Structure 1
């Protein structure tokens, strides 16, 4: 009898202990930011964006509006500290602690020459082990930080970033229109001069030909800036670190350095600890890279960015820009960086279809004159989502349950909502931890069941005796 009571007590204690451990640990310790593994998950997994599209005989305009608690307008700074000039150029894991990463908006555009893009959007540009993914191979070196977007057909093996097709194949694909146009608006490095940078995605993320809207202000040989603010025109030679980190960007503080308001750097000036000069100088772009302009200026007011980009329908650069035509149907995908984040820490959209004088998912509004009446242009509500570390090779592999549907060409929006894709992105980032938690929960559950059955057996046996 004493032995039976001891066994019952031991099993009961085991049951209660395992139950408490399960209750306390279930679902905890899985989702945790880990900068050492390039992991940081935003607190908000989706982001609303409003989009209006209008065109006339010559140009097309896209107006975007999205929420941001504060504007981030600084990027790539040069700071005088400890008696010398140093670069403060960052690509942080998650948000920059000093907010020194500019807000940005990008949009990919296609004319149907990249058929997968219409169905799966930006996912097709993300290869295996991309830059800032959690490293899967300890042997990866610094050069692997240059792994950037590319299109699937430019690789002979989708699992191998370095399996770039031969030059003849790449040129043939490009000549056939197998590339994505990439519009890139930047709060500091393009917006102040009314421009958006212009790029395209093919075997790599490439700049269009011509001069870009910014150029480096760093003199590597002398280890100091090349130019500084013109004190006669701006009232200052440099910014102050405390103003920069506080996010001061009012009209009295010129947060950007333009060629027109810059003079050669004065090395004889008595520079102070905490003096700051922008690391890039803004200039008028040229060639294909100058194709996209900002209508007015991108403005942050009342907790929102309001940005309008305009471009000629036909830029004259068909191998770098997607040429647009009335009666055409085009595919786009939009992404937003905010909260001082860079690289893959952004929000993206599903692919969207826009028709110009032609039925499509969305139809652009035709207008006459130079500027549309935006009050008469429909506002489209888009939900952006955090994509996590989901790559195209993974989506098309057997490890992904939806791979058979991708093989059949079923569009992503037919099977998923934005919130689901965001959740899937987070799950992939913590796949190892989730599997471990699942095994722990399974083992704990089996122990609970076994201890419960044993307890009941002991109790029933005690009653019979």
Structure 2
């Protein structure tokens, strides 16, 4: 009788552990955690299509990527009970109100930056960048940088002296960075020209937008011109719902705006863009659009143009016929910004030379877009930093990096996306592994005890 009771109890324990292991396997690990700046996109990979054309004077890059709903607004000012409040802009993951613009960015190098052709944007990610888990919030953004600009490549605050940085820049130790923004540059047909070196910054000159807010007065500087737009402000509900679109006057610029009128009877929900768009100046104005881009049939289709030789070799990578270059892309979609984007591995670009992306020589001023797109897979990178990748204690493949093995030889984009998620949840995954191990050991013990009791009973019978 006692043995029967033991057998029944062990079988019950075995069954209970089996059910518990099945019910808890893989659960409670990957989840959004705002307190740690973690928000995992629903799709870990996506697609970007690229075409390139040049005529000896200008070069054109055309980008196409899927977006279910275009985000044409960024941060806005909303009137509420006598005050103008900021909404939108930076957000943790996707902005549910679609008040974060879509973007595409491209890094370019001519072979001057060591390791970029093998590891792309990974080399620009130091420890403790803004929005990383555990990074304290400060007024100064901790941006991307090149390892060569630090005395300790793994430490953000060890920036080299100004004289050293000037020598590095003269030697080509910088990455050319092009950006297009659906709200803060697109409506007036502009791109934005920047760089990554000791920081991620804009080229010399002024950018395509400025802040439309007077802090002392606590009000916007400009509003919509009612003679042009038919209104002084939009309505926040219509902005969030997507009712305001390309055919409406939805941005502020010289042709759509007038100085703000504080005497007007403003109503709750009145909405004015927090950015005023303007012409760029200096080297920052080198990247432009042939015309404002529009979203059609589920895709953004964006073209940027630049002089092949801008005359600014300390700001821009100079394109030459017969030249070879390395490029890497970033796509911001579903109203996401900061590190919640999709990136690509580096790809080779050839102007008359065989490469992964082959630029097509065209008639003067007429980019030739015939021929197929180059498909580029992009992926969510998570919080994977260059110091982590080069540390054998944290990354088993660090020895491969030391041997300069390109990342594309070892990993697919899907694998890299999963690795990015694993890094964000490393503690939870380890805890889950220990829990699963404990369950497995318990199952083995319970199963063994059940078998032992069963065989004993048969022998006595």
Find out whether 1:400 has 2:399 as its counterpart.
no
Give the corresponding residue for 1:98: 97
- TM-score for both structures, normalised by structure 2: 0.97
Q: Is the 8 A contact 2:320 2:351 kept in 1?
A: yes
Give the corresponding residue for 2:384: 390
- TM-score for both structures, normalised by structure 1: 0.96
For residue 213 of structure 1, the aligned residue among 205, 208, 216 is 208
Deviation, 1:362, is 2.7
Q: Is the 8 A contact 1:109 1:181 kept in 2?
A: yes
Q: Is the 8 A contact 1:365 1:377 kept in 2?
A: no
Deviation, 1:363, is 2.0
Find out whether 1:268 has 2:267 as its counterpart.
no
User: How far, CA to CA, are the matches of 2:190 and 2:383 in structure 1?
Assistant: 31
Give the corresponding residue for 1:437: 432
For residue 222 of structure 2, the aligned residue among 218, 227, 233 is 227
Give the corresponding residue for 2:70: 71
Deviates more, 1:30-39 or 1:394-403: 30-39
Which residues in structure 2 correspond to 1:298-309 (within 5 Å)? 298-309=293-304
Q: Is the 8 A contact 1:11 1:455 kept in 2?
A: yes
Structure 1 gaps, min length 5:
none
User: How far, CA to CA, are the matches of 1:253 and 1:54 in structure 2?
Assistant: 32
User: How far, CA to CA, are the matches of 2:285 and 2:348 in structure 1?
Assistant: 25
Give the corresponding residue for 2:23: 24
Q: Is the 8 A contact 2:214 2:221 kept in 1?
A: yes
User: How far, CA to CA, are the matches of 2:149 and 2:291 in structure 1?
Assistant: 38
Deviation, 1:389, is 1.0
Q: Is the 8 A contact 2:361 2:368 kept in 1?
A: no
User: How far, CA to CA, are the matches of 2:247 and 2:289 in structure 1?
Assistant: 23
Deviation, 1:122, is 0.8
Deviation, 1:415, is 1.1
User: How far, CA to CA, are the matches of 2:15 and 2:256 in structure 1?
Assistant: 73
Q: Is the 8 A contact 1:59 1:310 kept in 2?
A: yes
Deviation, 1:348, is 0.7
User: How far, CA to CA, are the matches of 2:42 and 2:247 in structure 1?
Assistant: 34
Give the corresponding residue for 1:344: 339
Deviation, 1:162, is 1.3
CA RMSD of aligned residues (A): 1.4
Find out whether 1:365 has 2:363 as its counterpart.
no
2:59 aligned counterpart, secondary structure: strand
User: How far, CA to CA, are the matches of 1:90 and 1:363 in structure 2?
Assistant: 36
4+ residue runs of structure 1 moved beyond 6 angstroms?
none
1:294 aligned counterpart, secondary structure: coil
User: How far, CA to CA, are the matches of 1:170 and 1:3 in structure 2?
Assistant: 81
User: How far, CA to CA, are the matches of 1:306 and 1:427 in structure 2?
Assistant: 33
Structure 2 gaps, min length 5:
none
Once the two structures are superposed, what CA deviation does each residue of 1:170-222 show, in whole Å capped at 9, x if it has no partner? Answer: 22211211011110100011111111011101111111111111111110111
For residue 291 of structure 1, the aligned residue among 283, 286, 289 is 286
User: How far, CA to CA, are the matches of 1:435 and 1:145 in structure 2?
Assistant: 34
Which residues in structure 2 correspond to 1:103-252 (within 5 Å)? 103-135=102-134, 140-143=135-138, 146-252=141-247
Once the two structures are superposed, what CA deviation does each residue of 1:81-113 show, in whole Å capped at 9, x if it has no partner? Answer: 111112224311111121100100000111111
Q: Is the 8 A contact 2:130 2:137 kept in 1?
A: no
